[in-house]
Amino acid sequence: MTAETTTGADSRAGRLLRTVTWGLFAAWALHDAEELCTMAGWADRARPRLEQNLPWVPAAVWDRMSVSQEHATAAIGVMACVIGTAAARGAHTNGRSPLYQATLAGFGLHAVPHLASAVVTRGYTPGVLTAPTVVAPFALWAWRRLRRAEVPIATSSSAGPPAGRRVWWRHTTRGGAAR
């Protein structure tokens, strides 16, 4: 293989990894746009159906489910910072960042509760349209591309939230060098 061919292949691989890493932010934005448009007021509109379908749930739960547009917007704004940071770390490390990989895994896995909530409540729930059409397919595609590019999967010596906090802390306080 010539140097020119190798450089071209490296360039294509770099573009693909940028698509995989920044694609996380794009897929998240599509998904959360659905939530932004539907979350506020959904619980109030759905409450009669929910109370009928889930009669064992105490009224106090339904009372606390209401979300204002301001609350939904603020929560989605915070998540934009988290997802954007993870995508940037992923792009900077060619997908090797544990923060990026953990966020990609969480993003893909969170399609499951979206679908489950729609089944349990027997109707639309915010985010259920893009969970199976954007969230899960993007995450699966991204993991396949990372694997094909031979990007090592980040691991932690311990599982659970403490490990996630350690990964987050390391990446935000020490620059998160790729390992």
Q: In this predicted model, what pLDDT tens digit does every residue of 51-99 receive, in sequence order?
A: 998 899 999 998 888 899 999 999 999 999 999 999 999 999 999 999 9
Q: What is the pLDDT of residue 154?
A: 83
CB 166 within 8 A of CB 156: yes
Rounded CA gap, 108 and 139, in Å?
5
Rounded CA gap, 18 and 87, in Å?
9
Instruction: Look over the chain and give the mean of its residue pLDDT values, rounded to a whole number.
Output: 84
Q: Report the pLDDT averaged over residues 24-41.
A: 96
Q: In this predicted model, what pLDDT tens digit does every residue of 42-56 receive, in sequence order?
A: 989 999 998 998 899
Counting residues of the chain whose pLDDT is more than 70, the rounded percentage is 79
pLDDT(11) > 90:
no
